[in-house]
Chain A
Amino acid sequence: MKRRDFVGLTGLAAGALFLPSLPGFGHTPVDPARLLEPGADVAVKKRLADAALNAAKAAGADYADVRIGRSLNQYVFTREKQVQNIVSTESYGVGIRVLVAGCWGFASTSVVTEANLAATAREAVSIAKANKLVMKEPVQLAPQTGYGEVNWKTPIQQSAFEVPIKQKVDLLLAANAAALDAGASYINSALFQVNEQKYFASTDGSYIDQDIHRLWPTFSATAVDTKSGKFRSRESLSAPVGLGFEYLTPNAAEQVRGPQGTDTIGYKLRYDMLADAALAGKQAKAKLTMKSVVPGKYDLVLDPGHLGLTIHESVGHPTELDRVLGYEANFAGTSFATLDWKAKNLPYGSKAVNIVADKLQPGSVGNVGYDDEGVKTREWDLIKEGKLVNYQKIRDQAHIVGQKESDGCAYAQSWEDVQFQRMPNVSLRPGTAKMSPDEMVKGVDKGIYIAGAGSFSIDQQRFNFQFGGQLFFAIEKGKITEPLEDVAYQSNTQEFWGACAGSCDASDYRLFGTFFDGKGQPAQVSSVSHGSATTRFNGVNVINTARKV
């Protein structure tokens, strides 16, 4: 966050005496009971949207879309034996985007009346007309048929907002206790709960009502050895999910044991926070005395909770078409995977690499019925048998690669931000032959098994990267031998994916994710999941990160 960001200066921060994190600007703190109240009725929203669309058309717009957004958040923060903060917030308003003679205009407002939405639509039109003076490339919008009045809801069993706060606090404090009992000196835990109530309407004739839910329980356990002055942390192995509170009901069928000798457990669509916290406390303490890795080339066996972040950085970002074209050059960067590079038909990875984009996977945080410009979501291939076959694109980008329709991956973080191309779920397809993580380890002579995401860094064109992790185990002659510390691997995207020797089968498939993927100026965050099964990469360069200060 920039120091001049006024979010940091409001009383929200001033009141932050005990607050480790704060709601964003425009989010009003509310009584938790408010989170259970329904938003405006669909008929009301349609009337409001029509007022804006009609005003935009009357003012000269060739196309217009309206997003009426009600965003509800609740965050619970604890450390050790105490609650640090509980924040419940609501944000409500409307964003209107118009296209006038090939130029975009956008305006937003929190005063949700028919008259004001019409005025805001006219403002958006006047901004488009002003921007037209410096326009060089007129927008070409892929055609989109209207869907009429439709709706979509995240398939959840229980809204997290319906669960009493006490139950959530008790769960976090019990997890903290489990970690402390098992050896942690400190623990911070949090529960993020999000409900986006989105209504989209456009001059194409779509009126789309969506009720989107996301949840993220997480913690960081730290062990301190005062005598040696050493400290080590172990983060939770949970994932942010597009599920309700049911994610927090443990289910053995949704758990995957790591290779024999690793004492790790991975989670699918149900998470056992207490078990993971207890393991984290034990492992954080054990990290204080683990053997430091000998640098060199190793075959890596990467657990899905780790590999998801590597997929995100080395495949997710370089295949965003706006990055490829240079629109993010001053902030997020560009991409090695340019249109010219793709035309050469060079390998992105080995034949075992099949990577798919989607906004459909149940339980993923990218899962919605329609994107933020009213396009029904879908699945499409990005990499097939190691070759780049497609990019991620939205309505005004489809024509650039000769595609007739959008991929349905436009997103805006709130009603007050303009929608643009954002990463869908980007996932590595599991292997088709039957293989378990144990069987995969058996075939490795000298390697390292890595679980959980750690430090991550990649260059602005997505060539050179370095990743850490949470837990590392040496593999010798087909067996896990001992845990390791101070491990990070450095590679190059094409070299790394070229060294991919295959994945375990679908029974090992799990999702990694984040709530905070950043892009754009002013920056917007977005939620994204990445699925994979445990996967092997041969001969990767591992460095030792221990230093003395």
Chain B
Amino acid sequence: MAILSKDEAQTILKKVLSFSTADECEATLTGNTGGNVRSARNSISTAGAAENVALAVQARFGKRSGTATCNEFDEASLRRCVQRAEEIARLAPESPEYVPLLGPQTYLASPGSFAARTAAITPDYRAEQIGASMALCEQKKLSSAGFFNDSAGFVAKRNSKGLEAYQQVSSVDFSITVRTADGTGSGYAIANYTDLAKFDAARLTRVAADKAASSVGAKAIEPGKYTVILEPAAAIDLLNNMMGAMDARNADEGRSFLSKKGGGNKKGEKVFDERVTIYSDPTNAEVPDLTFANDGRPQQKVTWVEKGIVKNLYTSRYWAQKSGVPDIPPPNGWIMAGGTLSTAELIKGTAKGILVTRLYYIRAVDPQTLLYTGLTRDGTFYIENGVIKFPVKNFRFNESPVIMLNNLEALGKPVRLNGSLVPPLKIRDFTFTSLSDAV
């Protein structure tokens, strides 16, 4: 059984720690069960299922550390795993960035992070869902390629300093690309949930199919600076990249967009439009998450940006101790505060602009300014006087999320995507630098 109860997991972890002869020892037990099915050309191409339980033991002698893993849980195997971790630790070089293991911690409760319905998904259910999605496309003479992936499991930790953690998590991911038979139209939809109850393959397929049909016959318009409405699927990657660059050490070392001229970092400074507020909260009902980080630090509600001002940077434990800054781990997902308007309502309020479904192949161009390049994809439309007028050819963009969040026109109602809550964003002067023939 891949999903052990708290008692079952801690019983194994206690036994593991009892075999330790190291100065410090920490054991992590994870288990998950899940599967996936992939389709292309309205036909299933691959399908798989996996069930795993794995133990990782970290042993430490002074500043030396070693890790070993195993997936057998009889007493002899556990003992061998501990011994191996200790052997590897003895051979390891001393770490100048050594920090002692954490002691007992208090964690928030986030019971919504696991849904029994997700854990109970069967191969038949996966085939049924992707089958229904394919049938819908076939009816409309469209070609679909999709991927359904589900996972449910637990994470348990225990260490020799008294730390103890346990939580169950689950997730369902679905994405679908629908193309017209002649390849001149393409649409996309993506969704991610903790609880299967919220999942609706048919609805998502219809969104992608509608975009495919309505993107046929795209007109070329001149690249340049445009007002854009980035749907959440288009906004998330640039925002994720920005959140991934909020490390305190890089900023303090002078190699981050948050480094300050003359030294130090921009914590406390206004870097974005005052409507920009980004926080993380592992107990949020829409995006429930683990309430502890990989290294055992508690994940709490943290405000990263408030009214445009940088409020916190995340850090390693070593850097927090060395530089005397708050010890905050990086969040898993994040929540960007938005408004109440849907994407459709944002379109209604736009005199001239471009609706972007998705951005693709995003790569960093300059880490100094967080300049990224990439392309629009799977549904790009011209808006005039509050309505979508016609599909346009895809663009390459060169833009920085920092500049983007200063050129903010409006924020819509956030929706869940990949464990975060992301609003559609209306941005002025978004920089498109060339056209692409890709559909």
For B159-181 the 0/1 string (1 means CB < 8 A from A) is 00000000001010101110100
Residue from A226, A330, A460, A486 within 8 A of B40 (CB atoms): A330
Query: Is there an interface contact between B332 and A490, defined as CB atoms closer than 8 Å?
Result: no
Q: Quick one: given A6-B30, A330-B175, are A336 and B257 in contact (CB under 8 Å)?
A: no
Q: Which of B23-46 contact A (CB under 8 A)?
A: 26-28, 30, 32, 36, 38, 40-46
Query: Is there an interface contact between A545 and B371, defined as CB atoms closer than 8 Å?
Result: yes
Listed residue (B46, B55, B253, B259) with the most chain A CB atoms within 10 angstroms of its CB:
B46
Residue from B93, B295, B370, B374 within 8 A of A457 (CB atoms): B374
Query: Is there an interface contact between B30 and A29, defined as CB atoms closer than 8 Å?
Result: no
Q: Which of B88-125 contact A (CB under 8 A)?
A: 88, 91-93, 95-99, 123
Stretch at the interface among A46-54, A59-67, A127-135: A127-135
Query: Is there an interface contact between A10 and B56, defined as CB atoms closer than 8 Å?
Result: yes
Asked whether B68 is an interface residue with its Cβ less than 8 Å from the other chain, the reply is yes
Q: Give chain A residues whose Cβ lies under 8 Å from the Cβ of B437.
A: 336, 461, 463-464, 492
Q: Closest CB of chain A to B245's CB: distance in Å?
A: 12
Stretch at the interface among B141-149, B299-307, B345-353, B408-416: B141-149
Query: In the complex, which residue of chain A has the Cβ closest to the Cβ of B436?
Result: A464
- For chain B, the bracket of interface size reads 35 or more
Q: Give chain B residues whose Cβ lies under 8 Å from the Cβ of A522.
A: 36, 48, 149
In the docked arrangement, what's the CA distance between A228 and B260, Å?
9
Asked whether B315 is an interface residue with its Cβ less than 8 Å from the other chain, the reply is no
Query: Is there an interface contact between B317 and A547, defined as CB atoms closer than 8 Å?
Result: no
Q: Quick one: given A131-B47, A326-B41, are A459 and B375 in contact (CB under 8 Å)?
A: yes
Q: Quick one: given A17-B318, A457-B361, are A229 and B261 in contact (CB under 8 Å)?
A: yes
Q: Quick one: given A227-B261, A328-B40, are A16 and B396 in contact (CB under 8 Å)?
A: no
Which residue numbers of A lie inside 8 Å of B, CB to CB? 2-4, 6, 8-18, 25, 28-32, 82-84, 86, 106, 110, 127, 130-131, 134-137, 169, 185-186, 222, 224-233, 325-331, 333-334, 336, 338, 418, 455-464, 466, 468, 486, 488, 490, 492, 521-522, 541, 543, 545-549
Q: Give chain B residues whose Cβ lies under 8 Å from the Cβ of A456.
A: 363
Residue from B45, B54, B374 within 8 A of A10 (CB atoms): B54
In the docked arrangement, what's the CA distance between A331 and B36, Å?
15
Q: Give chain A residues whose Cβ lies under 8 Å from the Cβ of B68.
A: 28-29
Q: Closest CB of chain B to A291's CB: distance in Å?
A: 16
Q: Give chain A residues whose Cβ lies under 8 Å from the Cβ of B226.
A: none
Query: Is there an interface contact between B254 and A229, defined as CB atoms closer than 8 Å?
Result: yes
Q: Give chain B residues whose Cβ lies under 8 Å from the Cβ of A82.
A: 95-97
Q: Quick one: given A17-B99, A231-B368, are A457 and B375 in contact (CB under 8 Å)?
A: yes
Query: Is there an interface contact between A15 and B58, defined as CB atoms closer than 8 Å?
Result: yes
In the docked arrangement, what's the CA distance between A2 and B316, Å?
21
Asked whether B364 is an interface residue with its Cβ less than 8 Å from the other chain, the reply is yes
Q: Give chain A residues whose Cβ lies under 8 Å from the Cβ of B69.
A: 10-12, 28-29
Q: Closest CB of chain B to A180's CB: distance in Å?
A: 14
Query: Is there an interface contact between A459 and B370, defined as CB atoms closer than 8 Å?
Result: no
Q: Give chain A residues whose Cβ lies under 8 Å from the Cβ of B56.
A: 10-12, 14-15
The 10 closest A-B pairs by CB, nearest first: A11-B56, A11-B28, A229-B261, A464-B436, A329-B145, A459-B438, A224-B254, A330-B145, A15-B58, A461-B438
Query: In the complex, which residue of chain A has the Cβ closest to the Cβ of B364?
Result: A455
Asked whether B357 is an interface residue with its Cβ less than 8 Å from the other chain, the reply is no
- CB-defined A-B contacts under 8 Å, sample of 7: A14-B58, A17-B318, A18-B318, A29-B67, A127-B47, A136-B42, A326-B179
Q: Closest CB of chain B to A132's CB: distance in Å?
A: 10
Residue from B147, B176, B332, B398 within 8 A of A543 (CB atoms): B398
Asked whether B312 is an interface residue with its Cβ less than 8 Å from the other chain, the reply is no
Q: Closest CB of chain B to A255's CB: distance in Å?
A: 30
Query: Is there an interface contact between A490 and B433, defined as CB atoms closer than 8 Å?
Result: yes
In the docked arrangement, what's the CA distance between A75 and B404, Å?
38
Query: Is there an interface contact between A29 and B66, defined as CB atoms closer than 8 Å?
Result: yes
Query: Is there an interface contact between B373 and A11, defined as CB atoms closer than 8 Å?
Result: no
Query: Is there an interface contact between B57 and A11, defined as CB atoms closer than 8 Å?
Result: yes
In the docked arrangement, what's the CA distance between A230 and B254, Å?
8
Residue from A4, A325, A464, A521 within 8 A of B419 (CB atoms): A4
Q: Give chain B residues whose Cβ lies under 8 Å from the Cβ of A463.
A: 436-438
Q: Give chain B residues whose Cβ lies under 8 Å from the Cβ of A130.
A: 123
Q: Give chain A residues whose Cβ lies under 8 Å from the Cβ of B227.
A: none
Q: Give chain B residues whose Cβ lies under 8 Å from the Cβ of A2.
A: 173, 418
Q: Give chain B residues whose Cβ lies under 8 Å from the Cβ of A30.
A: 84, 88
Q: Give chain B residues whose Cβ lies under 8 Å from the Cβ of A327.
A: 40-41, 45, 145
Q: Quick one: given A29-B67, A457-B375, are A134 and B44 in contact (CB under 8 Å)?
A: yes
Q: Give chain B residues whose Cβ lies under 8 Å from the Cβ of A169.
A: 93
Asked whether B221 is an interface residue with its Cβ less than 8 Å from the other chain, the reply is no
Query: Is there an interface contact between B254 and A185, defined as CB atoms closer than 8 Å?
Result: yes
Q: Quick one: given A15-B26, A136-B43, are A231 and B438 in contact (CB under 8 Å)?
A: no
Query: Is there an interface contact between B27 and A11, defined as CB atoms closer than 8 Å?
Result: yes
Listed residue (B28, B42, B67, B87) with the most chain A CB atoms within 10 angstroms of its CB:
B67
